[in-house]
Amino acid sequence: MSWRESFIGRRYYSVLERWILPWMKKREFTPNRITISGMIFAVMVPVGFSAHPFWGFLLLALAGIADSADGLLARETGLKSSFGGFLDSSLDRVSDTFFIMGFWVLFWLDGRWMLEATIMVLLALMFINLISYVKARAEAAGISCEVGLMGRTSRVVYMLVWAFLLIIFPWSMEGLLWIGLTIFILACAFTAGQRVVHVRTQLADI
């Protein structure tokens, strides 16, 4: 079951469609403008985390809402375009980088085990990009590749939960950072493997 089909996902998109999209339409937002706004929020995530995990969480949430709303608005207003999809996917890669950089900033503020933390964050980035690259190559070959544990929406939800735990358990921040990053890397590596296997299976059928 996908995130959108889950109970929380259905409630989340219901709120978007009932409250957020009408507000955006009244102010004549375009899908591409929302996409760019989401990237701007994402770029500010490390700055937010440097001030306090709450601000990082808030900016991450705003970027996630924008990422969900641009596609919905495009479909509802008939402004869906090939360039809009291209722009959204391209800027998602920028946002992914700044999201994980936000957590790296917390390691940096702690000041310990920085080399190890930096290596693990780079591993996380590698697997995030691999997940997206495998999907892009699969779709270029005419294969749908939405499978996997940690698709983009799931990654954003994971990071929101991770950031929320850092807010409510500040005395356990160091442990939560390491545990959260380790699980994130393993889940992303597993997802990349799932997609490679899926593509291999589909190509074997051709």
pLDDT tens digits along 169-203: 999 999 999 999 999 999 999 999 999 999 999 88
Catalytic position from the list 92, 96, 110, 205:
92
Task: Give percent of the chain above pLDDT 90.
Answer: 58
Each residue's pLDDT tens digit, 44-77 = 999 999 999 999 999 999 999 998 888 888 887 7
Of the two residues 8 and 25, the one the predictor is more confident about is 25
| Mean pLDDT on 116-120 | 96
In whole angstroms, what is the distance from residue 194 CA to residue 74 CA? 30
- pLDDT band of residue 81 (cuts 50, 70, 90) is confident
Residue with tokens 């989340």: 12
Q: Contact 141/133 with Cβ under 8 angstroms?
A: no
Cβ burial 97-124 (10 Å sphere, 16+ → b, else e): bbbbbbbbbbbeeeeeeeeebeebbebb
Q: Where are the domains of the chain?
A: 7-204
Question: Taking 70 as the threshold, does the pLDDT of residue 33 lie above it?
Answer: yes
Dihedral, 11, 85, 39, 149 alpha carbons, nearest 10: 50
CATH superfamily of 7-204: CDP-alcohol phosphotransferase transmembrane (TM) domain (1.20.120.1760)
> What is the pTM for the complete model shown?
0.91
| Pair of tokens at residue 16 | 């978007």
pLDDT band for 7, please (50, 70, 90 cuts). low
**92 in active site:** yes
pLDDT at 18: 81
